[in-house]
Amino acid sequence: MIAPPRFKTVVVSVDAGSHVGTLRLNRPSKSNAIDGDMWTEIPKAVRWLDDQAEVRVVVVTGAGKNFCAGIDVSSPESLMSQLGQATAVKCPGRKAEALFRHIRGLQDSFTAFERCRKPVMCAVQGACFGGGVDMAVACDIRYCSADARFCVKEVDLAITADIGTLQRLPTLVGHGVATEMALTARVVGAEEARAIGLVTEVAPNAAALEALAGERARALAAKSPLAAQGTKQAMLHARDHSVREGLEFVAMMNSARLTSEDLGEAMAAKFAGRAPTFSKL
């Protein structure tokens, strides 16, 4: 495996022994607020981890006390640049078209988690506001620490959330709850987040959260990579399609995958009373 690439705002690492890759947001002094570099570096980091044959599961986490405080609003210039205000463009139509392309580019930064073939787990500590929620709900599984706080903050900035929360959150917590969270911008604590289905488990503190996410990631990485990848694809397809379409999709996929070596190895290991060993994806 080649050495992980170096980025300004995130750190990637791979534990080849456990087949777990980690993407850590790395602006702790700014509560991992998303700046221009982070928007471009996150999808690059995800693609790199996806390309590593040793990686079977990706864990997304943040350095410091907070997972992500949303977009960087530390200055008017930073806020305007993130909102895609093309001040040099005079034509209203061209300005609107440029803004459309800017928003779509930001959306793609987090859709990268769904495009990743490997399951992506998100471990949230402290604040997870605005863009942090966009990021978390784009992952496949979410855990948090007891001090975690979630907030769909955009309405307080006089904008409509447009990076994915309004599309993905309702499938996790239900339309009514998601609408209430988005319109009120109220803060949701860890236990409520678990109760409504936003997260699966709550750890007592940040250290326990890291241990929990690591344990769950290692357990998943020990399973068939083809089965894990196929399950992720089938679940995402089912979210966005009818039951009939979902059944046809998974039938087509498994018509090819049920002949894989992974199935034979899983059965052989079961009857031999040993742990299975799967090839790289």
> Of 37, 54, 114, 162, which one is the catalytic site residue?
162
162 is catalytic: yes
Catalytic residue among 134, 147, 210, 262: 134
SS3 content of the chain, % helix, strand, coil (to 5): 50, 15, 35
CA-based radius of gyration for the chain:
20
In the residue annotation, 154 being an active-site residue is answered as yes
Say how far apart CA 73 and CA 75 lie, in whole Å: 5
Quote the CA–CA distance of 29 and 66 in Å, as a whole number: 10
For residue 242, give both structure tokens.
């009818």
Instruction: Exactly one of 35, 154, 210, 262 is catalytic; name it.
Output: 154
Q: Which two tokens stand for residue 94?
A: 């061209």
Kindly give the residue spans of alpha helices, DSSP state H, lying in the chain. Answer: 36-51, 76-82, 92-115, 131-137, 165-173, 175-184, 190-196, 206-221, 225-240, 243-257, 261-272
Q: How many CA atoms lie within 13 A of 212 on its CB side?
A: 23
Angle at CA 171, nearest 5°, toward 180 and 96?
A: 75
The pair of three-digit structure tokens given for residue 228, joined into one six-digit string: 């894990």
Q: Among 21, 62, 130, 131, which one carries the catalytic annotation?
A: 131
Find the catalytic residue in 34, 42, 71, 163.
71
34 as an active site residue: the answer is: no
Just list the catalytic residues: 71, 131, 134, 154, 162
